[in-house]
Structure 1
Amino acid sequence: MNEYLVELTTTVPEGTDPAEVDARRTAESVRARELAAQGHLLRLWRPVGELRSIGVWRAEDESELREAALGSLPLWPWMTAVVTPLQSHPSDPGRVG
């Protein structure tokens, strides 16, 4: 499995019913827990004062990441994603092997 740094920015379309936004956000939380349990979502942060998320994700390749993981998020239709493939650094203190 490969790891990716993913920056997600959500922009709710103007005029969207607040009830739909709330429902999608609730479903997003559930789906994120499912993806974490499946080993796709490793860590997720929100920079202070910003409406974007930064996370470390895992998938076989970027296609699987976008289709099976990110594409399954309820807020995905409203998101833009910047995906950066990662590789281990020789000085990473958490490196195994």
Structure 2
Amino acid sequence: MEFLVDMVTTVPEGTTEEAVAEIRAREAVRARELAAQGSLLRLWRPPLAPGEWRTWGLFSADDAEHLEQSLASMPLRIWRQDTVTPLSPHPNDPGR
């Protein structure tokens, strides 16, 4: 199954720049691992409001439980709210 995930990150007030940089670096490593495993297919940056930190991701997983395991393994999850939309194939999809 494929899932579109809207990921909105809110860094808590008082968090140091060093802490943010460290967790972002770990997030990048984990994203590469998930991509190599075939779980993370694509990432997009939608139009953002000033100060907004948001990403859209296309994930592949056997089911919602496996998707949750992937999302929970991402370091930024501690500050992130995820909205998951399961996707199903469209009969007129030009990519088929």
**TM-score, reference length from structure 2:** 0.92
CA separation in 2, counterparts of 1:57 and 1:30? 16
Aligned to 1:20: 19
Aligned to 2:59: 57
5+ unaligned residues in a row in structure 2: which ranges?
A: none
**TM-score, reference length from structure 1:** 0.91
Aligned to 1:11: 10
Deviation at 1:64, TM superposition (A): 1.1
Aligned to 1:71: 72
Deviation at 1:88, TM superposition (A): 0.3
Q: Percent identity?
A: 54
5+ unaligned residues in a row in structure 1: which ranges?
A: none
Deviation at 1:25, TM superposition (A): 0.3
> Would the aligned equivalents of 2:48 and 2:54 in 1 still touch at CA under 8 Å?
no
Give the match's secondary structure for 1:84.
Answer: strand
For 1:1-23, what per-residue CA distance to the aligned partner results, in whole angstroms no more than 9, with x for missing partners? Answer: x1001000000011112111100
Deviation at 1:82, TM superposition (A): 0.5
CA separation in 1, counterparts of 2:89 and 2:71? 22
CA separation in 2, counterparts of 1:64 and 1:15? 33
- The aligned length equals 93
CA separation in 1, counterparts of 2:47 and 2:31? 20
| Matching of residue 80 in structure 1 with residue 58 in structure 2 | no
